[in-house]
Amino acid sequence: MKRILITGGAGFLGSHLCDRFIKEGYHVIAMDNLITGDIRNLEHLFPLSNFEFHHHDVSQFIHVAGELDYILHFASPASPIDYLKIPIQTLKVGSLGIHNCLGLARVKNARVLIASTSEVYGDPTVHPQPEEYWGNVNPVGPRGVYDEAKRFQEAMTMAYHTYHGLETRIVRIFNTYGPRMRLNDGRVLPAFIGQALRGEDLTIFGDGSQTRSFCYVDDLVEGIYRLLLSDYPSPVNIGNPVEITIKEFAEEIIKLTGTSQQVVYKPLPTDDPKQRQPNISKAKAILDWEPKVSRAEGLRITYDYFKNLPEEELYKAAY
């Protein structure tokens, strides 16, 4: 049985990855300090003998007994309000955390895949963004703690690959959504659906002309699975290239939820990227991957999940 360590295993993406590797017959070790992750995302796996949960902060030395074939580094605050609130932890998990993972991988002779992000492109001046684009990031702006940690993480991972011959993979993840996102994490989809469910107006930041491209979580997980098993060490974008403005997105959510609320406009956060759309030519060519789930279908599934959460979840503050 192959053994895999998934850091950030109790988070939105981490928990879906745990499910996928359990389904593939792996022994899965999920590690999380539960700062932004939620243990309830993993409860259904606790009875399984091929699943372990380790409550641990990966910025501290990591000890795992036994062999490991793969390490997925997915631990990190990942929404703008999270990394504004806990900037130092965000920088530490992207730097000390990946250093610990890479060191562990050397000892175990394991392959490492890291969760990088479209944020490495910053507020892009090239559109759509191919992997060759170096980005336009403000290192000292409020988002810099996340963007630069992820850029450092890529550099560190590539250095271990080049200098130690470690097997490494880098996925650059674009906006992803689906069940188990935190309703209060501040990102646009849970924000809009939460507002609709509470009977509040939907808050558009700026004039709503900024764009994003939303990928359903199952599509992302399939891309990551293929990348891990590929032999390609350079970064690969995984995301859905169907682009939409935030204003149009708000209208879609209003229609989906049937809310009679309106949109209201709030100031645009500092350094909020104006446009974002992945160029996925590489994923298509190397992994034979492209997204399969339409936004209409993905949003329906995600809305059903949020609608069925206990009512008190709707009123929980972000922190």
* Closest separation in Å from C-beta 193 to ligand UDP: 10
Q: Per CB under 6 A, does 84 bind ligand UDP?
A: no
Q: Per CB under 6 A, does 205 bind ligand UDP?
A: yes
Q: Per CB under 6 A, does 193 bind ligand UDP?
A: no
What is the rounded CA–CA span in Å between residue 226 and residue 169?
A: 11
- As a dihedral over the C-alpha atoms of residue 168, residue 55, residue 4, residue 63, rounded to 10 degrees, the angle is 70
Among 8, 37, 77, 80, binds ligand UDP (CB under 6 A): 80
What is the DSSP pairing of strand 263-266 with strand 243-245? Answer: unpaired
Catalytic residue among 70, 83, 121, 146: 146
Q: Per CB under 6 A, does 232 bind ligand UDP?
A: no
CA 157 and chain centroid, separation: 18
Q: Which of residues 234-293 bind ligand UDP (CB under 6 A)?
A: 246, 268-269, 272
For residues 13 and 217, is the Cβ–Cβ distance under 8 A?
A: yes
* Closest separation in Å from C-beta 219 to ligand UDP: 17
Q: Per CB under 6 A, does 172 bind ligand UDP?
A: no
Closer Cβ to ligand UDP, 41 or 176, answer by number = 176
List phi, psi (to 5°) of 275.
-150, 150
146 is catalytic: yes
Residue burial 183-222, b: 16+ Cβ < 10 Å; e: rest:
bbbbbbbbbbbbbbbeeeebebeeebebbbbbbbbbbbbb
* Closest separation in Å from C-beta 128 to ligand UDP: 14
Q: Per CB under 6 A, does 188 bind ligand UDP?
A: yes
What is the rounded CA–CA span in Å between residue 193 and residue 269?
A: 20
* Closest separation in Å from C-beta 185 to ligand UDP: 8
Closer Cβ to ligand UDP, 174 or 225, answer by number = 174
What is the rounded CA–CA span in Å between residue 24 and residue 2?
A: 10
Alpha helices (H) along the chain? 12-23, 80-85, 87-108, 144-164, 188-198, 217-229, 246-257, 281-287, 295-307, 311-314
| C-alpha atoms less than 13 angstroms from C-alpha of 125 in its C-beta half-sphere | 4
* Closest separation in Å from C-beta 191 to ligand UDP: 3
Q: Among the candidate windows 150-158, 159-167, 184-192, 285-293, which touches ligand UDP by CB under 6 A?
A: 184-192
Closer Cβ to ligand UDP, 51 or 146, answer by number = 146
Which of these, 241, 255, 247, 253, lies nearest to 294 by C-alpha position? Answer: 241
Per this entry, what is the length of the chain? 319
Q: Per CB under 6 A, does 187 bind ligand UDP?
A: yes
Among 89, 168, 175, 184, binds ligand UDP (CB under 6 A): 175
Q: Per CB under 6 A, does 135 bind ligand UDP?
A: no
Count of chain residues binding ligand UDP (CB under 6 A): 16
What is the rounded CA–CA span in Å between residue 204 and residue 192?
A: 9
Closer Cβ to ligand UDP, 108 or 187, answer by number = 187
Q: Per CB under 6 A, does 191 bind ligand UDP?
A: yes
Map residue 66 onto helix, strand or coil. Answer: coil
What is the rounded CA–CA span in Å between residue 118 and residue 97?
A: 20
What is the rounded CA–CA span in Å between residue 316 and residue 38?
A: 14
Q: Which of residues 34-63 bind ligand UDP (CB under 6 A)?
A: none
Q: Per CB under 6 A, does 201 bind ligand UDP?
A: no
> Active-site residue numbers?
146
The site for ligand UDP (CB under 6 A) is made up of 79-80, 175, 186-188, 191, 203-205, 210, 212, 246, 268-269, 272
